[in-house]
């Protein structure tokens, strides 16, 4: 085998692999676009989920404060429990009043 033929053969293969690599950018671009879209949808979903959790926590906190500051003191209760949207007022260990809060 002559060296000239070997060089020509290698050059030919390099040219073929170079052509393949020139076309690979399209595949990589499509993959990155798909990944970007998945990331964007996931980010929006997590922001929505976080907003819902914050809203639920605010409602819980406001109802708990309403139970402790407005409802049970009016009934002369010495303790209160707020759970499952219900406000329970206690006096002497007994429930004296309960109210459903939205």
Could you tell me if 97 and 76 are in contact, meaning their C-beta atoms sit under 8 angstroms apart? Answer: no
Band of pLDDT at residue 8, cut at 50, 70 and 90:
very low
According to the model, what pLDDT value does residue 49 have? 96
Q: What is the pLDDT of residues 71-87, one digit of tens each?
A: 888 888 888 888 888 89
Number of domains in the chain: 1
The pair of structure tokens assigned to 42 is 């996931």
Least confident of 20-24, 58-62, 76-80, 88-92: 20-24
Q: Where in the sequence is the domain holding 77, given as residue range(s)? A: 3-100
Helices and strands (H and E) in the chain: how many: 1, 3
- What the block records as the tokens of 31 is 């993959």
Token pair for 11:
């050059």
pTM of the predicted structure, to 2 decimals: 0.55
| pLDDT in the model for residue 17 | 59
CA gyration radius, the chain: 35
């Amino acid at each position: 085998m002559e060296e000239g033929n070997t060089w020509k053969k290698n050059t030919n293969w390099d040219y073929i692999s170079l052509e393949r690599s020139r076309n690979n950018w399209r595949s990589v671009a499509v993959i990155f676009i798909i990944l970007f879209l998945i990331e964007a949808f996931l980010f929006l979903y997590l922001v929505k989920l976080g907003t819902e959790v914050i809203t639920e926590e605010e409602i819980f906190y406001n109802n708990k404060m309403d139970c402790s500051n407005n409802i049970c003191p009016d009934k002369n209760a010495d303790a209160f429990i707020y759970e499952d949207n219900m406000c329970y007022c206690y006096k002497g260990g007994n429930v004296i009043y309960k109210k459903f809060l939205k």
